[in-house]
Structure 1
Amino acid sequence: MNSTPNMIKPLLYSWCFPNTTNLVQFPWSFSNLVEVDAQSDDKFLRSRISFTCNELLNLKNLEKLHMVGVNEMITLVEEVFEVVERKNADENLETQSVVVFEKLKNVILENLFNLSHIWKTNRWIVLSFPNLTTVSVTACPLLGHVFTCCMVGSLLQLQELHISDCEKMDVIVKQVEGSEARLAKVVFPCLKSITLHNLPNVKGFCLGKEDFLWPSLDTLEIKDCPKVTVFTCGQSTTPELKLINATFGLCHATEDPNSFIRTKQEEFYISLYNEMSYENFDVSV
């Protein structure tokens, strides 16, 4: 494996995996790991789980995760950060563990054809990302959601969120079944840009009852997401959002995103219905 020391932070390393041996064989390196850049037919992408539950605590220095697959037959990653369920004997325990990724700033995932979970969360284990600033997920057709409600409270530094070409995804933030960690209001203080492109089954950003506050959001793009009928089921407050770039055009955000989406979707489909009716009328005549 080829490793190069990080000159700013001695003893910390950035790792690239051009056709190299799977990182899982080198657990001693995790505590020094700063950057993972796995691309093409890299053997790192041939493991079903990228980082097992036992390895998560050693990723304290990880700052960037970049994984790009190229071939469905050899890109086998199903889960990036593994969180396991407790055994039946432990189900009555009420203690909850929080695994904090203090330094992780960037997560970029592309063409991971078998990916079903990025970071699975349950009622006993929650992953926290207090310094995560950028998340980009593209062409992960089996991925059902990006975040869970249990973890969004830690995303205080998130600035950019880009999700595109994920066929199975039905929501961006998912409720965790059986979780009692419900927030009355979710705040994304630094999130400035949300881009949702070509998500044919997405119904909304979050379908829970929480209210959302987006004090910095000034860019919202929702294109080719035909099943979106609401942004959030709870109230969304976006004081800085002036324009919304949607499939039906660039529009002024004169209302909250929920009202805007409902109104514009209705207008768009009424217009489409009228056009189709007019064309059918012309043909029959």
Structure 2
Amino acid sequence: MKLENLSSLKSFCSYNYTFMFPSLDKLLIMYCRRMSMFCAGDIHAPLLKGMRWGNHEKLLETNLNKTTQLLFTQEGLTLNQKNATMIRDGEFQANLFDKVRTLCLESFVDESVTFPYSFLGRFPNLQELCVEHSCFEEIIPSEAQIVNHMGKIASFKELYVGYLDQLKTIWNDDSQLQPIHQDLKRLEVECCGRLIKLTPSFVSFENLTHLKVCGCHQLIYLVTSSTAKSLVNLQRLEISDCERMEEIVRNNESEDDVEATIRFYSLWRLQLTDLRSLKSFCSQNHHTFKFPSLQYDVSISGCQQMKMFCGGVVETPKLSNVKIDEDRLYLEGGLNKTIEMAFLNKV
């Protein structure tokens, strides 16, 4: 059994049923930030000796419910504006929050409130930050403010930002992201309707392995070519339901006449879904894109204006086919030519 990326999941079942799993011997629970118990009733899983919670293997302590509750209380914490203010202003023992690995901040509904960046210093072992259903216009402040907290805030590895109706930018344009971005491995942004820029123009994400963006309708492009060059470890790129997005990689203005090779060494999954304004992955004709690990998992659907993959050269030595809408097409003359022919067949 695998439960993954269910950000609203609280339990397998909230009713007091008895569940029998006589054959279950493996259980994986990942990115289920609200799950504080497995179910309200009894569970019988005689073959299950342990579970994987996120990146950690854990032997069962008494039963599945007990182990899930223990992991949740030790490693995950969800706070609203009132809770966070109480913790920030109150007196607590120094190591009270040392075990917290996942912090979710939600329901900051006061429109005058700014993201409590310094508050993150309360969680020295933070690995994952989740910010959702709040009125923040910005998450990571300017470089000057970051410098004041250098060494005091954990360099967390995962960032989820979702359902922030007022959010205009995640990182301040002046932010160099030094304490945050160096170890960031996963970035997920969902339903931020006013977000106009994902990252500053020249930021580097060398350790990022998973990038997912959904429902951000003001984004015209995803990243600049400068940032794209740093994504050497990116494995999964999933972009969906962004109404105004015209291209994934936009050329930096300072590089208009510079030929460049952009290598996505590790990318094995590329999914572009319901991007109705998307015309290409990159419109510039002087870039060469290399995807040495792309082999099977390439899907492009609901991108009616996409006439080609990119304006320049694209190299996919292992890729033999691509899924376009409902059709699985074998590459004929390369990825650019295959997409061009698929577009012409629809006209």
Could you tell me which amino acid in structure 1 is paired with residue 236 of structure 2? E
Q: Secondary structure at the match of 2:183?
A: coil
Instruction: Specify the alignment match of 2:293 in structure 1.
Output: 216
Instruction: Specify the alignment match of 2:78 in structure 1.
Output: none
Instruction: State the Cα distance separating 1:262 from its structure 2 match.
Output: 0.9
Verify the 8 A CA contact 2:169 2:198 in the aligned structure 1. yes
Identity of matched residues, %: 21
Instruction: Specify the alignment match of 2:275 in structure 1.
Output: 199
Instruction: State the Cα distance separating 1:265 from its structure 2 match.
Output: 1.2
Could you tell me which amino acid in structure 1 is paired with residue 170 of structure 2? V
Verify the 8 A CA contact 2:272 2:300 in the aligned structure 1. yes
**Structure 1 unaligned regions, length at least 5:** 86-96, 270-285
Q: Do the aligned partners of residues 14 and 66 (structure 1) sit closer, same or farther apart at CA in structure 2, a change above 3 Å counting? A: same
Q: Secondary structure at the match of 2:184?
A: coil
Instruction: State the Cα distance separating 1:19 from its structure 2 match.
Output: 2.8
Instruction: Specify the alignment match of 2:131 in structure 1.
Output: 38
- Which of these residues, 192, 197, 216, is aligned with residue 112 of structure 1? 192
Q: Do the aligned partners of residues 26 and 257 (structure 1) sit closer, same or farther apart at CA in structure 2, a change above 3 Å counting? A: closer
Instruction: Specify the alignment match of 1:227 in structure 2.
Output: 305
Moved over 6 A (4+): none
| 1:103-154 deviation line (CA, Å, top 9, x unaligned) | 1011111111111111021xxxx21111100011111111111111011111
Instruction: State the Cα distance separating 1:172 from its structure 2 match.
Output: 0.3
Q: Within the alignment, does 1:62 sit opposite 2:156 as a pair?
A: yes
Verify the 8 A CA contact 1:106 1:132 in the aligned structure 2. yes
Could you tell me which amino acid in structure 1 is paired with residue 200 of structure 2? K
Verify the 8 A CA contact 1:195 1:222 in the aligned structure 2. yes
Q: Distance in 2 between matches of 1:56 and 1:171?
A: 31
Q: Do the aligned partners of residues 206 and 16 (structure 1) sit closer, same or farther apart at CA in structure 2, a change above 3 Å counting? A: same
Q: Within the alignment, does 1:53 sit opposite 2:129 as a pair?
A: no
Q: Within the alignment, does 1:167 sit opposite 2:243 as a pair?
A: yes
Specify which structure has the bigger relative contact order, considering alpha-carbon pairs within 8 angstroms and separated by 6 or more residues: 1
- Which of these residues, 111, 116, 120, is aligned with residue 29 of structure 1? 120
Verify the 8 A CA contact 1:132 1:155 in the aligned structure 2. yes
Q: Distance in 2 between matches of 1:255 and 1:60?
A: 48
Instruction: Specify the alignment match of 1:17 in structure 2.
Output: 105
Instruction: State the Cα distance separating 1:36 from its structure 2 match.
Output: 1.3
User: CA RMSD, aligned part only?
Assistant: 2.7
| 1:27-84 deviation line (CA, Å, top 9, x unaligned) | 2535945321123x3x3xx121111222556577121111121xxxx62101001214
Could you tell me which amino acid in structure 1 is paired with residue 161 of structure 2? M
Q: Secondary structure at the match of 1:120?
A: coil
| 1:199-239 deviation line (CA, Å, top 9, x unaligned) | 11111001122011100012211111111111111111101
Q: Distance in 1 between matches of 2:156 and 2:303?
A: 33
Q: Within the alignment, does 1:151 sit opposite 2:230 as a pair?
A: no
Instruction: Specify the alignment match of 2:49 in structure 1.
Output: none
Instruction: Specify the alignment match of 1:141 in structure 2.
Output: 217
Instruction: Specify the alignment match of 2:336 in structure 1.
Output: 258
Q: Distance in 2 between matches of 1:199 and 1:53?
A: 31
Q: Distance in 1 between matches of 2:341 and 2:213?
A: 28
Q: Secondary structure at the match of 1:16?
A: strand
Could you tell me which amino acid in structure 2 is paired with residue 120 of structure 1? P
Q: How many residues align?
A: 242
**Structure 2 unaligned regions, length at least 5:** 1-83, 89-95
